[in-house]
Amino acid sequence: MRAATRRFALRQSDLDDATCLVPEGVAAVLRDRPAITIALDHRVHGVTPTHLEYPVTLRQDDEEWWFDGVAWPDDLRPGVLVTVAWRPARDEVVVRTAVLDEPMRIDGVAYYHDYDPEVVTRECRPGPSNRGQVLAAVRRLGRVYEDGTALFPEADLVRRSGLGRGKRGTFLLRNAVDQLIREGFVTRVTGSLDASGRPSYPAVDGEEPVEMLFYAPLVEPAPLPDEEGEHGSSDRREHWVSGFVRKLPPGSQPSPRQRSLHQQAVDSELLSEPLAPGYTFVKKHHRNG
């Protein structure tokens, strides 16, 4: 058999269950062997090179073959891309990650290796709070684009977020949405739904106009672990968030007020980043985790 390679984005279930997809055709070569070992070449936090070896087993599930027993390093996040290569000349399976040019923080979570933005959005675990339930619905159940942005019909939150039933639920849902808008996580826009319920923004002519929530990930440079002393972990406790620039839905522009607030931040030397077309400014605010 020739060499075989497969590149895929890790899901949270892969990390939790210590599993790894097998390149196509490789299971037929390895499944009768009494022992299988795979190697992982990886740079911890994008810096320290490591070579790890794992004894693994093969498992077939839903027409896919998996390696079980891969203890993924703690600095790998959902959405990180890994390459699995079978090298018959060396009789080995090697898994590799690729380091980002600079570490990035996506909505407060540090990433040190190449990642798939769409999978990062889908695999979010915002937490059990009301705002977390709403954000999870938008990111996990909405229409997610290649750049990691997501679109979700706001009216569907009542039945899909776990909030919004009865007067109290409606009040909690409204507050959660308002908080996410205030924090800059989502923007309310008018899009449309096609006959199958698929959302679009901008609205498509001839389709039903619907109020949508548009999510755009906040992507910013992340310090190296020794610069923040937390090995890249994010602090999700209640805290104040400094003002920042965030992406808007396609075709949208910041309001005059947001332009003014951004200029004030620049004049006060609190921010140096320009307000490029298609971006807005989110002022300093308190975030509940």
Percent of the chain having pLDDT more than 90?
A: 58
Q: Is the pLDDT assigned to residue 284 strictly greater than 60?
A: no
CA distances, 4 to each of 18, 71, 86 (Å):
21, 22, 5
Q: What is the pLDDT of residue 236?
A: 45
Q: Is the pLDDT assigned to residue 229 strictly greater than 50?
A: no
pTM: 0.79
Q: Is the pLDDT assigned to residue 98 strictly greater than 80?
A: yes
Higher pLDDT, 90 or 245: 90
Given pLDDT bands bounded at 50, 70 and 90, which one contains residue 242? low
CA angle 282, 283, 288 (to 5 degrees): 90
Q: Which residues pair with 67 in a beta bridge?
A: 20, 58
Q: What is the pLDDT of residue 71?
A: 94
Higher pLDDT, 222 or 266: 222
Over residues 227-232, mean pLDDT: 47
Give per-residue pLDDT as tens, 15-37. Answer: 999 999 999 999 999 999 989 99
Backbone Cα Rg of the chain: 22
Q: What is the pLDDT of residue 96?
A: 98
Extract the tokens encoding 254. Answer: 């910041």
Task: Measure the CA–CA gap between 132 and 145, rounded to whole angstroms.
Answer: 20
Q: What is the pLDDT of residue 269?
A: 65
Q: What is the DSSP letter of 275?
A: -
Please list, residue by residue across 77-89, b when 16 or more beta carbons sit within 10 angstroms of its beta carbon and e when fewer do. bbbbbbbbbbeee
Q: What is the pLDDT of residue 12?
A: 96
For the domain spanning 4-97, the CATH number is 2.40.330.10
Output the average pLDDT for the chain: 86
Task: Measure the CA–CA gap between 282 and 278, rounded to whole angstroms.
Answer: 13
What are the phi and psi torsion angles at 26 (to 5°)? -75, -35
Given pLDDT bands bounded at 50, 70 and 90, which one contains residue 221? confident
Helices (H) and strands (E) in the chain, counts: 8, 19
Nearest to 281 by CA among 289, 228, 271: 271
Q: What is the pLDDT of residue 2?
A: 84
Q: What is the DSSP letter of 194?
A: -
CA distances, 134 to each of 96, 107, 154, 249 (Å):
35, 15, 10, 18
Residue 251 identity (one-letter amino acid): G
Residue ranges of domains in the chain: 4-97, 118-288
